[in-house]
Chain A
């Protein structure tokens, strides 16, 4: 185990009926790093995210966050994580401000502190001028940014992002990438899944490559490429797709 390990995944297995979504996977995520999960569709990325976000429980094995089990102490972990789901989990009939007001309240913010934090997060994700507009009127990219904003209000030290840039414009992708770098600079640990290989290459310190629930490789991009003998992550992914 690495000395600065924050998240320890230990022999985790998760089944959906007869299908194994995660098959005895183990790895570590270090404090303050951006850790990418990559793999073809059905590889088990989102399943792992739901386990880490304490939405589901593993059938066997455990994930320890700073030594605390997601199975035994999900409550204490939930306060520390920010979860960005793949869906736009926001109320379209409410304004951006009202949506954030709900999540700020859920995370225990109140009064002036709440207002300031909402305003700061909106500015951070370049949505300050649309605070009072209904989310239903936003573009896809703006909704994605607001989806992330809702999970940053309580300043989590672990941010779990499931496909945060799926289907967004280049401006929003850039904004989100800048935000990830900035959060990392502030010591936040980020676990991210994405279909955009270039994005993961650029942002992630380390990667885990999954296929059909099996952890194939873990490490830095350079180490993975060296081990697999591939020129690029894209070539590796293409190889995985061909094997399916």
Chain B
């Protein structure tokens, strides 16, 4: 025990030498959570990566009817600004990336419809905003289809009235009124769409990102310790530990304990921050967090063992650790909500600490759902076992290669 405490004290001494890095480790969580909540919070309730965008409308006819048509676009929430302009300027706006697409309404479209030979409109897309362009194209296609359907109806009326030998003026009047009625029906069509609110995120943006990012910070907290382990290995200190009464395992255990200590300090800072952010709401309970935190810490410790088993020097430790934490953060839904990620990412996320940690913390934040918490904890412990087994396998392979 004396030897273990001596190693632990020495590790603390080394880590404390870089006070700035340590302070950064403690302050960064609060800063990053705040920035993420501010920058990405508004996107949390959206299921696609499309933010409101602008389009240009080139109305070459400029009639009452085309005006009504253009105004219908104002009702689309996804559209930010609708610039009415000419075709050349619309093309320039696309080049300047100011608009995602331009809808061109042809000249004499109303008259052409009256003549039963509707003119084709067109959509000019912006390749840099492909998804947005496709949205506008689809809106235009739906509009054109509606007009075609309406015309088909009008053809039928005309043919029947011709056969019935009705006065041509009367036929014309009937068609105009049918046309108006059809347009009114089409314009009212938006009512067929209603949105059911999912209430997927019952927590605030700050809480969501705190839950999502805690695993990232816990993993980062172990980097100074695994770097130290790599340094000891490259300097031959680890070998010296083996020849001493400590054996090698006490040095590794001391570093794991130290990284848990740093994680706990981070966790405490984040809890205080969340507590102050939840002021007035008064719902934040710290207790349900603790099992998730402990399981995340165990998984992060096993993960750091895996990194240490791969790394050969402090520099390679830094690189492997940072890249793998970043990758886990992206795949595990720490950066962007998991439901919005592609299916492959969602599948791979099962292998990340981030996913289960975030789910556990979110369950704890949303009111301490015991089922959600225990499920996440089990998954985290399973991951820890997997990482730990992986680390032992790599160590053994390395030893065999050395032998």
Chain A positions near chain B (C-beta within 8 angstroms): 15-17, 50, 53-55, 75, 78-79, 81, 83, 85-94, 98, 101-108, 110, 150
Please report the C-alpha to C-alpha distance between residue A81 and residue B241 in the assembled complex, in whole angstroms. 12
Interface contact B236-A78, CB-CB below 8 Å: no
A-B pairs with beta carbons under 8 Å apart, 13 shown: A16-B402, A54-B242, A78-B243, A78-B244, A78-B245, A85-B243, A94-B13, A101-B6, A105-B2, A105-B5, A106-B3, A106-B7, A107-B3
Nearest A-chain residue to B244, judged by Cβ: A106
Residues of the B chain whose Cβ atoms lie less than 8 Å from the Cβ of A89:
235-237, 239-240
Contact of B403 among A17, A78, A106 (CB under 8 A): A17
B246 CB-CB contact with A under 8 Å: yes
Main secondary structure of the interface of A (DSSP, over half): loop
B residues near A (Cβ < 8 Å) are 2-3, 5-7, 9-10, 13-14, 17, 231, 235-237, 239-246, 402-403
Supposing A89-B236, A93-B17, A102-B7 touch, asked if A110 and B243 sit within 8 A by C-beta, the answer is no
Check if A106 sits within 8 Å of B243, measured CB to CB: no
Assuming the A-B contacts A91-B14, A98-B10, are A108 and B3 also in contact, with contact meaning beta carbons closer than 8 angstroms in the complex?
yes
- Main secondary structure on chain B at its contact with chain A? helix
Cβ–Cβ < 8 Å partners of B236 in chain A: 85-89
Who on chain A is nearest to B3 by CB?
A106
Given A75-B245, A98-B10, A107-B244: A91 touches B2 (CB 8 Å cut-off): no
A152: shortest Cβ distance to chain B, in Å? 13
Q: Are B244 and A90 in contact (CB under 8 A)?
A: no
Which residues on B sit within 8 Å (CB–CB) of A108?
2-3, 245
Query: Are B7 and A103 within 8 A (Cβ)?
Result: no
Q: Are A107 and B242 in contact (CB under 8 A)?
A: no
Q: Apart from A16-B403, A53-B243, A103-B244, what are 20 other A-B pairs with CB-CB below 8 Å?
A: A15-B403, A50-B239, A55-B242, A83-B244, A85-B239, A88-B235, A88-B236, A90-B237, A91-B237, A93-B14, A94-B10, A101-B6, A101-B10, A105-B2, A105-B9, A106-B3, A106-B241, A108-B2, A108-B245, A110-B2
Q: Kindly provide the distance from the CB of A19 to the nearest chain B CB, expressed in whole angstroms.
A: 10
- A98–B243 alpha-carbon span in the complex (Å): 20
Cα A87 to Cα B236 with chains together (Å): 6
Query: How far, in angstroms, from A220 to B239 measured CA to CA in the complex?
Result: 31
Tell me the bound Cα distance from A15 to B403 in angstroms.
7
Which residue in chain B gives the minimum CB-CB distance to A105? B6
Determine the chain B residues whose CB is within 8 A of the CB of A94 once the complex forms: 10, 13-14
* Cβ-defined contact, B3 with A105, below 8 A: yes
**Given the complex, which residues of A lie within 8 Å of B239, measured CB to CB?**
50, 55, 85, 87, 89
Contact A106 B245 (CB under 8 A): yes
CA distance A89 to B245 in the complex (A): 16
Q: Beyond A102-B10, A105-B2, is A79–B245 a contact (Cβ under 8 Å)?
A: yes
* Closest beta carbon of chain A to B284's beta carbon, Å: 40
Tell me the nearest residue of chain B to A92, going by C-beta: B235
Q: In the complex, which residue of chain A has the Cβ closest to the Cβ of B8?
A: A105
Contacts of B243 in A (CB 8 A): 53-55, 78, 81, 83, 85
CB distance from A192 to the nearest CB of B (A): 16
Which B residues are in CB contact (< 8 Å) with A17?
403
Contact A98 B244 (CB under 8 A): no
Taking CB atoms, residues of chain A closer than 8 Å to B235 are 87-92
Q: Name, among B2, B13, B237, B240, the residue most crowded by chain A CB atoms within 10 Å (CB to CB).
A: B240
A17 to B243, CA, bound (A): 23
Closest to A84 in B: B240
A169 CB, nearest partner CB in chain B, Å? 21
CA distance A89 to B232 in the complex (A): 8
* Residue among B235, B241, B246, B402 having the largest count of chain A Cβ atoms under 10 Å: B235
How far does the alpha carbon of A86 sit from the alpha carbon of B239 in the complex, in Å? Answer: 11
- In the complex, which residues of chain A have a beta carbon less than 8 angstroms from the beta carbon of B14? 91, 93-94
Q: How far is the CB of B208 from chain A (nearest CB, A)?
A: 40
Chain B residues whose CB sits within 8 angstroms of the CB of A15 once the complex forms = 403
Give the docked Cα–Cα distance between A50 and B6 (Å): 24
CA distance A106 to B402 in the complex (A): 28
Q: A55 CA to B399 CA in the complex, in Å?
A: 12
Chain A residues closer than 8 Å to B241, beta-carbon distance: 106
Q: Report Cα–Cα, A89/B13, bound state, in Å.
A: 17
Per the bound structure, the CA–CA distance linking A83 and B244 in Å amounts to 8
What's the minimum C-beta distance from B104 to chain A, rounded to whole angstroms?
69
Task: Kindly report which residue of chain A lies nearest to residue B401, judged by CB atoms.
Answer: A17
Interfacial chain B residues near A105, Cβ < 8 Å: 2-3, 5-7, 9-10
**Complex Cα spacing A51 to B166, Å:** 113
Q: How far is the CA of A164 from the CA of B320 in the complex (A)?
A: 35
Contacts of A91 in B (CB 8 A): 10, 14, 231, 235, 237
Interchain CA distance A93-B240 in the complex, whole Å: 18
Given A16-B402, A91-B14, A94-B13: A83 in contact with B6 (beta carbons within 8 A): no
6 closest pairs, A vs B, by CB?
A105-B6, A87-B236, A83-B243, A89-B236, A53-B243, A102-B10
Interchain CA distance A90-B242 in the complex, whole Å? 14
Q: With the chains together, A84 CA to B219 CA distance in Å?
A: 35
The CA of A15 and the CA of B10, in the complex, are separated in Å by 36
* Cα distance A55–B239 in the bound complex, in angstroms: 7
Q: For the complex, what is the distance from the CA of A128 to the CA of B245, rounded to whole Å? A: 26
Q: How far is the CA of A88 from the CA of B239 in the complex (A)?
A: 11
Could you say which residues of chain B place their CB within 8 Å of the CB of A104?
6
Contact of B13 among A78, A98, A107, A110 (CB under 8 A): A98
Contact check, A83 vs B240: say whether CB atoms are below 8 A apart: yes
A129 CA to B237 CA in the complex, in Å?
24
Alpha-carbon separation in the docked complex, A78 to B245 (Å): 5
Instruction: Say how far B229's CB is from chain A's closest CB, in angstroms.
Output: 13
Who on chain A is nearest to B238 by CB?
A89
Could you tell me the distance between the alpha carbons of A55 and B246 in the complex, rounded to whole angstroms? Answer: 12
Residue ID in chain B nearest A85 by CB atoms: B236
